[in-house]
Structure 1
Amino acid sequence: MTAPIDRYLRAARRESTLRRYRQALEHFESDWGGLLPASGESVVRYLAEQAEQLSSATLRTHLAALAEWHKRHGFLDPTKDARVRDVLRGIQAEHPRPVKQADALQLQALDECIAGLQGQASSLVAGERLRALRDQALILLGFWRAFRSDDLCRLQIEHIQIQTGKCLEIFLASGKTDREHRGRTVNVPALKRLCPVQAYEAWLAASALRQGPVFRGIDRWGHVSADGLNPNSVSRLLRLAFARSGLDGEGYSGHSLRRGFATWASRNEWGTKALMEYVGWRDVQSAMRYIDTNAPFGDWLR
C-alpha cells in the first residue's frame, strides 16, 4: 500500500481511537495470550475471563478493536457471534459499575482561577507570563464553548477569525461525532467578564503566533513549541493552573470544562434543544451525562 493511501486511511480515524485500539489488541494478544485472527469462542472466553478486571465500556472498546482488525485484514468478524453479545450483556448485569465523571467546573471556581492567572500574566518571567496567558485562553475557550480536550488541541490559528468585541468564528475540524469528517463552524461570544475573545487575543499577541496549533507547550525559558498540545495533557494543565492560583483543582479533568458549561447553561435556563445545538450533542442522553443536576432542596437540607 502506498504512503498516501496509508496516510488517508489513518486520517479516517482519530489518533486517540487508533491508540486505544492498539492498546486493546496488545491486551488481547500479549496480556491475555489470544491469537489473531480470533474465533468467536476465544472472544467469548476473553470477555468472561476479563469481566472482573475491565469495565463493560472498556470491553466494548476491545471488541470494536477486534472487529476493526478482522475487517481490515479480510477475516470474518468474531465479535458478531451471538454468544459474544449475550456474554457482554451478562457481564453488564453481573458487574454494574458507576460511571466516573470529572467534577463540573463551577463559575465561581473558574472566576478565582482566572483571577490568579491574570496576576501571573504580568510576570517578568517569560515562561510564567506565557503559560498564564495560554492557560487563560485554553480554559475560557474550553468552558464557554464546551470543547473537549481534543477539540482544543486541534484548533488552528488560520481557522479562527477574530471579530474584536463581538466573537470568534472558529472552523473546527472533524471530531469525535463527525463521522463524515466535514468539520463545523462555531462562534464563541465576547463577554463582559471572563471573556474568551480577549483571552485568545492576548495569547496570540504575547506568543506572536500566526499559524498552526493555537495551544502549544512552553518550556521553562518561555520558548513556545512548534507542536500542538496532546489532548491527554489538558487535564494536567488545568489542575496546574488551579494550583498556581493557590486553588485545589485535583478533582478536575479536561471534561470538567464541558461539564461545567453544561451545568451553568442548565441552571441559567437554557433549553435542552438550545444546549444540544450549541455544544453539538446529537441526543438528550449524551447531554444529560454532562449536566450536574443538584436539585435545590433549600431549607429541607440538614
Structure 2
Amino acid sequence: MNTLVRWVSAINVLHRQAGHPPPGATTDVKNVLASARRLNSEVPRRMQPVFLRELRRALGLIDMNTHPAAIRGHRDWAILVLGFAGGFQRSELAALTFGDIQLGDPLGIRLWIRTARTVQMGRTASKLLPFGKSPDTCPACALLRWTRLLHYIRDRKLIEVEVFLLGVSLSKHICREPQLELQTFDQKSPVLRSLRRGGHVQDTRISDDVVNDVVKLRLKAAGMDPKRYGAHSLRSGFIAEALRGGHPYRAIMLQTDHISSVALDHGQRDSHSYRNPVLDLGV
C-alpha cells in the first residue's frame, strides 16, 4: 500500500512540474486508494527514529583505534553521523563521490546530491554538514576522519596505518584543518566504500543495503532491537530532533530534500514536542 501511495505521489509531482493537474487529486483515484486502504488495513510498519542520545550511545561503542576493527569503525561512524545530520536517504549516502564534496562554506561542508531522482527531475540538491559543537558527533569531522584514513591507507604501509589509527582522537575537531588529501582522489570515486575481512578497503561504493545493515548492527550493539530500526531511522531521527527543537517544516525540508511536508507529520508525532490533550482530560 505504501508503495502504491509513493507511486501516486511521484506521478502527481511530475504532472505539476509539467503544468498539468495531478491525477492523484481526482475523485476516482482517491476512491481507489481509500478502497485499497480498507482492504489492506494492517498497521503500517515504520522504522523507529534514532534520537541523538541513542546515536551517541551507539557511537560510543565503536572501536576507532584498533586495526582492523577501526577501519570499519571509521566508515560506520561516518555513515551514522552523516545519515543523521544530513537527513539522508540510504541511496544518497551510497552514491556520494569525492566530486560531491564542496569546501569553502563558512558553516560547514556541503555535499551535492546526484541521485536518479534528482537527475530525473532535472534539479540539484545539496546538504550541509555543519562544523558541529562536539567533535564526536561533528558531521564534518566524521566525514574528514574517514577520507583522511582512506588517503593514509592508500599511501602507507600497514604498520603506519596502525600507528595512525592509535593516534586518532575524538576529543578534538579536525574539520577546520587544511584538507589537501581531498584533492588527491578521483572526483568520480566513491566516498563510502565496501570492505572485506581484515579491514581491506575496496574501490567500489557501498550498496544501499549496507547502510541499513550498519544501522541495525551498531544499534543492536548498543542494546536496541534491530528489528525496530533501519537506514530510515537516521533520517526520521533528524526530523524528529529538528521538530523537537522548534525548527519550521520548510527549514527541515531544505536539508532532507522532501518535496511534501506529509512525511514530516510522522516526525512531529515521533518528536513528542507537543502535549497530547488526552493527558489533560483527568481520566
TM normalised by structure 1 equals 0.65
- What is the Cα deviation at residue 268 of structure 1? 0.5
Q: How far apart, in 2, do the equivalents of 1:195 and 1:159 lie?
A: 19
- Equivalent position of 1:7 in the other structure: none
Q: SS in structure 1 opposite 2:60?
A: helix
Count of residues in Structure 1 that have an aligned counterpart in Structure 2: 225
- Checking the alignment, whether the CA contact within 8 Å between 1:215 and 1:228 is kept in structure 2 is yes
Deviates more, 1:101-110 or 1:213-222: 213-222
Q: How far apart, in 2, do the equivalents of 1:180 and 1:202 lie?
A: 33
- What is the Cα deviation at residue 206 of structure 1? 1.2
Residues 126-165 of structure 1 deviation map (CA, whole Å, 9 limit, x = unaligned): 2x11111011111111101100100100111122024598
1:259-274 map, 5 Å: 259-274=236-251
Q: How far apart, in 1, do the equivalents of 2:250 and 2:99 lie?
A: 31
Deviates more, 1:150-159 or 1:164-173: 164-173
Report whether the alignment pairs 1:135 with 2:112.
Answer: no
The structure having more radius of gyration, on CA atoms, is: 1
1:186-265 map, 5 Å: 186-193=127-134, 194-208=137-151, 210-211=185-186, 212-244=189-221, 246-250=222-226, 251-265=228-242
1:112-131 map, 5 Å: 112-117=57-62, 120-123=63-66, 125-126=67-68, 128-131=69-72
Change in Cα spacing, 1:107 to 1:219, as seen in structure 2 (3 Å) is: same
- Checking the alignment, whether the CA contact within 8 Å between 1:174 and 1:182 is kept in structure 2 is no
For residue 105 of structure 1, the aligned residue among 34, 50, 57 is 50
Residues 251-296 of structure 1 deviation map (CA, whole Å, 9 limit, x = unaligned): 2100000100000000001012211222212222132234414344
Q: Which runs of 5+ in 2 are unaligned?
A: 10-26, 155-184
1:144-223 map, 5 Å: 144-163=85-104, 166-176=107-117, 179-193=120-134, 194-208=137-151, 210-211=185-186, 212-223=189-200
- What is the Cα deviation at residue 180 of structure 1? 2.1
Q: Name the % identity.
A: 21
Q: Which runs of 5+ in 1 are unaligned?
A: 1-55, 65-81
Residues 149-204 of structure 1 deviation map (CA, whole Å, 9 limit, x = unaligned): 00100111122024598411211103546642433233211101110111111111
Q: SS in structure 2 opposite 1:217?
A: strand
RMSD between superposed Cα atoms in Å:
3.2
Change in Cα spacing, 1:252 to 1:122, as seen in structure 2 (3 Å) is: same
More RCO (CA 8 Å, sep 6+): 2
Q: How far apart, in 2, do the equivalents of 1:191 and 1:62 lie?
A: 37
Q: Which amino acid aligns with 1:220?
A: R
Q: How far apart, in 2, do the equivalents of 1:144 and 1:152 lie?
A: 12
TM normalised by structure 2 equals 0.69
Change in Cα spacing, 1:195 to 1:293, as seen in structure 2 (3 Å) is: closer
